[in-house]
């Protein structure tokens, strides 16, 4: 969500004449778009702000803006903690940032706007000339679920859906500017439009599926309690919808799920996985887990491990529970020691490693369709001055597996031509977080494209 928001900020500021720099020391304006979902994210934001204080001392004209969830959460205290910031903007006022910058420039005083009462923008103007091959589009903001560990409803506000025509328009504009794959974003995409009586999420997916030039659709995040049969069927019916779902479960124990206010049981979750697999037997399923929730007994953690063995996820994002002051669980009893949480986290990640390895290995010798996203990052970090014959490229399969492959460096123009194309790649090697392969060529030695 923050990546998407940062993109909109960048687009809005480009009309004021700002350009992106990759060297923070050269910047006239630094915008820190923060996250407070877990303690670690918050610590990172404060430590970056600390570094900015040094920079501001050396370069007094430098403007510093802090936005996102931390700005929203700490609205009242932020100037005590970081008195040198010039602009504080909340999660619902992104569109007003250019005006806040002007205000701070004019008055020389900190401009603050963390108002959450107004409507967030639905229609957007996209000023950027080009968009990435794969990009995000927000379909809704905020959340009404109030999971007891989570700060989102307090810092991002109530759930509001954008109008379907605005979402579709934004995708179309981005497609014209080069996007081939969209990830529709929301905290709970399954409840898209319900409150406002707009189209349902499956209907929105069908509209996106009809957009000419768009090749792939993904979405995140899907809440298990609202995963409908219509959405499950969309995986069968919409050819552009990728063969992957991220369905966070958080815990394998019914007692903990109840304390988390997740509103589904382990059995209901397993049933939904069953339905998904009956429609798409090879669908990739990834999840989020929290270990060490207040009161989590060893036996309840064992239920989580057991669930992992039953489902065999393709991927896992696991987190040690951390208190978020605004969220109710921060005042729950029976908090677990950090050491216990860490131990459980490692155990969980260790178990997942085996499933990831096995799932990745199953791709060896298979031909997969890869959307080419560009040269792999490794090219830049790997001895940049060395003259190599080959260039590593990267893309993803519909299951969201990263595939790296090598192309002959001698024909760079042909390589560039591949950007954003769906090509066939034969997988030769499975690494822990990615696959490696070779593009399939025809008799003339030319790369073959997927239909």
Please pick, from the candidates 145, 169, 330, 424, the single residue that binds ligand SF4 as defined by CB under 6 A: 145
Q: Which is nearer to ligand SF4, 187 or 286 (CB)?
A: 187
State which of positions 295-324 bind ligand SAH (CB under 6 A): 319, 321-322, 324
Q: Rg of the chain over CA atoms, in angstroms? A: 23
Stretch that binds ligand SF4, among 116-124, 149-157, 333-341, 433-441 (CB under 6 A): 149-157
Find tokens 């729950």 and name the residue.
332
Find tokens 């019916």 and name the residue.
237
Contact 367, 425 (CB under 8 A): yes
Please pick, from the candidates 13, 31, 36, 38, the single residue that binds ligand SAH as defined by CB under 6 A: 38
CA distance 390 to 430: 20
Contact string (CB under 6 A) for ligand SAH, positions 178-217, x = contact: ---------xx-----------------------------
Q: What is the enclosing helix (H) or strand (E) of 303?
A: helix 298-311
How do strand 63-67 and strand 87-89 relate by DSSP bridges? parallel
Give whole-number Cα distances, 207 to 115, 201, 210, 238, in Å: 33, 10, 5, 10
Q: Which is nearer to ligand SAH, 240 or 347 (CB)?
A: 347
Please pick, from the candidates 64, 140, 167, 290, the single residue that binds ligand SAH as defined by CB under 6 A: 290
Find tokens 């990759």 and name the residue.
22
Stretch that binds ligand SF4, among 117-125, 147-155, 290-298, 315-323 (CB under 6 A): 147-155
- Can residue 147 be called a binding residue for ligand SF4 (CB under 6 A)? yes
Please pick, from the candidates 51, 107, 146, 210, the single residue that binds ligand SF4 as defined by CB under 6 A: 146
- Can residue 329 be called a binding residue for ligand SF4 (CB under 6 A)? no
Stretch that binds ligand SF4, among 124-132, 150-158, 176-184, 271-279 (CB under 6 A): 150-158
Please pick, from the candidates 69, 70, 85, 150, the single residue that binds ligand SF4 as defined by CB under 6 A: 150
Q: Which is nearer to ligand SAH, 40 or 59 (CB)?
A: 40
The number of residues making up the chain comes to 451
CA distance 155 to 143: 10
Stretch that binds ligand SF4, among 144-152, 205-213, 375-383, 431-439 (CB under 6 A): 144-152
Instruction: At 7, list the tokens.
Output: 């993109």
Give whole-number Cα distances, 400 to 270, 288, 450, in Å: 22, 16, 16
Min CB(189)–ligand SAH separation in Å: 9
Cα 132 to chain center, whole Å? 15
CA distance 316 to 334: 26
CA distance 127 to 239: 30
Q: Which is nearer to ligand SF4, 154 or 363 (CB)?
A: 154
- Can residue 221 be called a binding residue for ligand SAH (CB under 6 A)? yes
Contact string (CB under 6 A) for ligand SAH, positions 235-274, x = contact: -------------x-x------------------------
Per-residue buried b or exposed e for 223-258, using 16+ beta carbons within 10 Å of the residue's own CB: bbbbbeeebbebbeebebbbebbbbbbbbbbbebbe
Which three-class secondary structure state does DSSP give residue 345? helix
Question: Using H for helix, E for strand and C for coil, what is the string for 7-74?
Answer: HHHHHHHHCCCCCCCCCHHHCCEEEEEECCCCHHHHHHHHHHHHHHHHHHHHCCCCEEEEEHHHHHHC
Instruction: At 277, list the tokens.
Output: 């697999």
Considering only CA atoms, which of 69, 73, 62 is closest in space to residue 28?
62
Min CB(223)–ligand SF4 separation in Å: 5
- Can residue 218 be called a binding residue for ligand SAH (CB under 6 A)? no
Which three-class secondary structure state does DSSP give residue 205? helix
Contact string (CB under 6 A) for ligand SAH, positions 139-178, x = contact: ----------xx----------------------------
Q: Which of ligand SF4, ligand SAH, none does 146 bind, CB closer than 5 to 8 A by kind?
A: ligand SF4
- Can residue 6 be called a binding residue for ligand SF4 (CB under 6 A)? no
- Helical packing angle, 266-279 and 229-237, nearest 10°: 20
Q: Which of ligand SAH, ligand SF4, none does 227 bind, CB closer than 5 to 8 A by kind?
A: none
Min CB(378)–ligand SF4 separation in Å: 33
The per-residue DSSP string of 391-425 comes to EEEEEE-TT--EEEEEEEGGGHHHHHHTTT-EEEE
Which residues contact ligand SF4 by CB under 6 A?
143, 145-147, 150, 152-153, 187-188, 223
Which residues contact ligand SAH by CB under 6 A?
37-38, 149-150, 187-188, 221, 223, 248, 250, 288, 290, 319, 321-322, 324
């Amino acid at each position: 969500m923050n990546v998407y928001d940062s993109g909109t900020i960048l687009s809005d500021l480009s009309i004021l004449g700002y350009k992106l720099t990759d060297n923070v020391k050269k910047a006239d304006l630094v915008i820190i778009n923060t996250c407070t979902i877990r303690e670690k994210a918050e610590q990172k934001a404060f430590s970056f702000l600390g570094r900015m204080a040094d920079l501001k001392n050396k370069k007094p004209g430098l403007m510093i803006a802090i936005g996102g969830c931390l700005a929203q959460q700490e609205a009242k205290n932020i100037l005590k903690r970081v008195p040198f910031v010039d602009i504080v903007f909340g999660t619902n006022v992104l569109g007003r940032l250019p005006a806040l910058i002007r205000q701070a420039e004019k008055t020389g005083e900190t401009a603050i706007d963390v108002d959450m009462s107004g409507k967030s923008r639905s229609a957007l103007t996209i000023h950027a000339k080009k968009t990435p091959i794969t990009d995000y589009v927000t379909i809704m903001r905020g959340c009404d679920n109030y999971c007891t560990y989570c700060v989102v409803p307090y810092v991002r506000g109530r759930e509001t859906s954008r109008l379907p025509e605005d979402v579709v328009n934004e995708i179309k504009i981005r497609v014209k500017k080069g996007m081939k794959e969209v990830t529709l974003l929301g905290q709970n995409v399954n409840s898209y439009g319900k409150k406002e009586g707009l189209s349902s999420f499956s209907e929105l997916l069908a509209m996106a599926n009809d957009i000419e030039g768009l090749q792939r659709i993904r979405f995140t995040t899907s809440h298990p309690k609202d995963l409908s049969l219509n959405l499950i069927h969309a995986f069968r019916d919409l050819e552009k919808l990728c063969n992957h779902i991220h369905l966070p479960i958080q815990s394998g124990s019914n007692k903990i799920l109840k304390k988390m206010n997740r509103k589904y049981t382990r059995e209901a979750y397993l049933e939904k996985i069953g339905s998904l697999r009956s429609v798409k037997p090879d669908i990739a399923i990834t999840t989020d887990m929290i270990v060490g929730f207040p009161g989590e007994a060893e036996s309840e953690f064992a239920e989580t491990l057991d669930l992992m063995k039953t489902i065999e996820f393709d991927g896992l994002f696991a987190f040690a529970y951390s208190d978020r002051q605004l969220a109710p669980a921060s005042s729950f009893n029976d908090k677990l020691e950090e050491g216990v949480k860490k131990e459980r986290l490692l155990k969980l990640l260790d178990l997942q490693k085996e499933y990831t390895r096995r799932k990745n290995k199953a791709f060896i010798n298979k031909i997969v369709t890869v959307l080419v996203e560009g040269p792999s990052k490794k090219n830049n970090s790997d001895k940049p001055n060395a003259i190599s014959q080959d260039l590593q490229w990267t893309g993803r399969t519909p299951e969201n597996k990263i595939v790296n492959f090598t192309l002959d460096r001698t024909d760079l123009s042909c390589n560039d031509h591949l950007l954003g194309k769906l090509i066939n790649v034969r997988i030769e090697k499975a690494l822990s977080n990615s696959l490696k392969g070779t593009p399939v060529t025809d008799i003339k030695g030319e790369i073959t494209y997927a239909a």
